[in-house]
């Protein structure tokens, strides 16, 4: 009887040891795969989180407010001069927007990121360095740009994650769209490009919105990258005009 008990105890110990060995091997394999696909140890934080909302990898344009919805999107910030003015204008107008933030800007101005969130707006990952040639770069580079920006924005916001990913200049790739979607960030396009970054004049920006809004609901503005006084002036005209036309302001679909 004592020999049988000894054998049983030995079998249990062997089974436990084997289980620990298998778990360690699996963990090592996952880490190696992550490092090889995203370019380094940073990939260890990029595994899909079970709490993330599953989203489509298709580029979103539609509004969650339906056919008469409009999505105001603001790119390239936050900026210490222009973002506070944009936020005040949006608050005065009762409009919510989606802010597509550059990672280094979010890292530099975390209080503005927190203010964007506190005002009820949504966050969007616009990469670390706004490289408009991303679609010509390696997958490792695309991964670094997207995942590091996600980390920077989330940290700056106090833990609120971006819900969208917008490629700089629309430089999406199938890989970048799938990667963003796996992190719960819906790829985000636009329908109306105001080209406000070119400083075409307030009247031109306003006319662009009025003539192109029938093409789709997502409108592109900027709150950084230079003088945005024309953007502010155009928004003061465009927002009430859109309301008068029966549009409702919403967020891009996810």
Query: Which residues are catalytic, by number?
Result: 75, 222
Cα separation, 28 vs 132, whole angstroms: 35
Host H or E run for residue 98: strand 98-101
Tell me how long the chain is. 254
Residue 157's alpha-carbon distances to 26, 44, 114, 150, in angstroms, are 34, 21, 5, 11
Across the chain, where does the E strand assignment appear?
Answer: 69-75, 98-101, 122-125, 164-165, 186-187, 192-193, 218-222, 248-250
3-class DSSP assignment, residue 220? strand
3-state secondary structure of 137: coil
List 63's β-bridge partners, or say none: 252
What are the Cα distances from residue 194, in Å, to 40, 221, 234?
38, 6, 10
């Amino acid at each position: 009887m004592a020999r049988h008990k000894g054998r049983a105890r030995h079998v249990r110990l062997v089974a436990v040891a084997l289980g620990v060995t298998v778990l360690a091997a699996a963990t090592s394999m996952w880490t190696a795969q992550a490092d090889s696909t995203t370019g380094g140890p940073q990939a260890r934080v990029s595994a899909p989180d079970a709490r993330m909302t599953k989203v489509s990898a298709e580029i979103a344009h539609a509004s969650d407010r339906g056919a008469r919805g409009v999505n105001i999107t603001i790119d390239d910030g936050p900026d210490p001069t222009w973002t506070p003015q944009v936020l005040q204008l949006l608050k005065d107008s009762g409009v919510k927007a989606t802010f597509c933030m550059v990672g280094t800007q979010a890292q530099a101005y975390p209080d503005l990121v927190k203010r964007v969130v506190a005002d009820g707006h949504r966050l969007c990952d616009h990469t670390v360095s706004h490289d408009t040639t991303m679609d010509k770069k390696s997958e490792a580079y695309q991964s670094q740009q997207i995942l590091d920006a996600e980390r920077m924005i989330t940290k700056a916001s106090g833990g609120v994650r971006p819900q969208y990913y917008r490629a700089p200049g629309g430089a999406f790739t199938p890989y970048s769209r799938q990667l963003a979607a796996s992190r719960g960030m819906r790829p985000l396009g636009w329908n109306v490009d105001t080209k406000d970054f070119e400083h075409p004049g307030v009247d031109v920006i306003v006319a662009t919105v009025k003539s192109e809004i029938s093409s789709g609901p997502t409108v592109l503005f900027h709150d950084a990258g230079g003088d945005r006084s024309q953007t502010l002036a155009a928004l003061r005209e465009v927002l009430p005009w859109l309301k008068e036309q029966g549009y409702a302001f919403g967020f891009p679909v996810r």
